[in-house]
Structure 1
Amino acid sequence: MRRFLFRSILGIFFGGFIATLTTIAHIYFGEQSLIDGDLFLKNSLGFIFCGWLFTVTPLYFEIRSLRLSQQTALHFITVTILYLIFALGIGWIAVDITNILIYLIIAVITYSIAWLGFYLYFKYECRKLNDDLKHIK
C-alpha cells in the first residue's frame, strides 16, 4: 500500500509537470497569448490521470504469485483499455472505429517493443550478475 501511494503521488506530480510543459510549449511555439480555460483544465487532468495510470500499473510486475505472462497480460489490458476509454472521453482520440483500430495497432506495437527491450535488458543484467557471482572467491 505504501508503494502504491508513493507511485500515485509521483505519477500525479509527473503528469502535472508534463501538462505544464505542454501548455508552455503550446503558448510559446503556437504564438498564442491566451488559452481556453476549459480545454486547459480537461487536458491537464488528462495528463495527471495518465501520469498516475502509467506509474501505478507496473505494480503488476511486483506480484510474485503471478507468472510473467499473467503480469504482462494484466498490465497491457489495464493500460490499453483504461487509456482508450479515457482518451475517447476527453477527446484525444476521435470516436471512430478506424481511429480506435489505429490506436490498438499502435498500442500493441509500442507495448511489444518496450516489453522486449525491458526483457532483454533485465536478462542481460541477470546474466552479468550471475557471472559476477561465479567469480567471487
Structure 2
Amino acid sequence: MKTFLFRSVVGIFFGGFLAVLLTFAFIFFGDLSTIDSRGFVTNSLGSIICGWLFTVTPLYFEIPSLSLPKQTALHFFTVMIGYGVLAYGIGWMPTGLSNVLIFGAMTLVVYAIFWVAFYLYFRNESKKMNDDLQHIQ
C-alpha cells in the first residue's frame, strides 16, 4: 500500500508537471497570447490521470504469484482500457469506429515496443548480475 501511494503521488505530480510544460510549449512555440481555460483544465486533468495510471499499473509486475504473461496481460488491458476511455472522453481521440481501431492498433504497437525494450533491458541487467555473482570469490 505504501508503494501504491508513493507511486500515485509521483504519477500525479509528474502528470501535472508535464501538463504545465506542454502548455508552456504551446504558448511559446504556437505564438498564443491566450489559452482556453476549459481546455487547459480538461487536458491538465487528463495528463494528471495518465501520470497516475502509468506509474501505478507497473505494480502488476511486482506481484510474484503471477507469471510474466499474466502480469503483462493485466497491465496491458488495464492500460488500454484506462487510457482508451480517458482519451476518448477528453477528446484526445476523434470519434468514430475507424479512429478507435487506428488508436487501438497504434497503442498496441507502442505497447509492444516498450514491453520488448524493457524486457531486453532487464534480461541484460540480470545477465550482468549473474555474471558478477559468478566472479565473486
Q: Secondary structure at the match of 1:64?
A: coil
* Counterpart in the other structure of 1:128: 128
Residues 1:79 and 2:83 are matched in the alignment = no
Q: Give the counterpart letter for 2:25 in structure 1.
A: A
* Counterpart in the other structure of 2:55: 55
* Counterpart in the other structure of 1:92: 92
Residues 1:4 and 2:40 are matched in the alignment = no
In the TM superposition, what are the counterparts of 1:26-41 in structure 2 within 5 Å? 26-41=26-41
Q: Give the counterpart letter for 1:57 in structure 2.
A: T
Q: Secondary structure at the match of 1:17?
A: helix
Q: Distance in 2 between matches of 1:83 and 1:95?
A: 15
Normalising by structure 2, we get a TM-score of 0.98
Runs of 4+ in 1 over 6 A off after TM superposition: none
Give unmatched runs, 5+ long, in structure 2. Answer: none
Q: Distance in 2 between matches of 1:83 and 1:7?
A: 17
Could you tell me the percent identity over the aligned residues?
A: 58
- 1:95 is displaced (CA, Å) by 1.5
- 1:107 is displaced (CA, Å) by 1.0
* Counterpart in the other structure of 1:69: 69
- 1:124 is displaced (CA, Å) by 1.0
Q: Distance in 2 between matches of 1:19 and 1:83?
A: 16
CA deviation vs aligned residue, 1:30-69 (integer Å, no higher than 9, x gap): 1111111111100000000000000000000001110000
Q: Distance in 2 between matches of 1:127 and 1:37?
A: 51
Give unmatched runs, 5+ long, in structure 1. Answer: none
Q: Give the counterpart letter for 1:113 in structure 2.
A: I
CA-based RMSD: 0.7
In the TM superposition, what are the counterparts of 1:12-27 in structure 2 within 5 Å? 12-27=12-27
- 1:127 is displaced (CA, Å) by 1.1
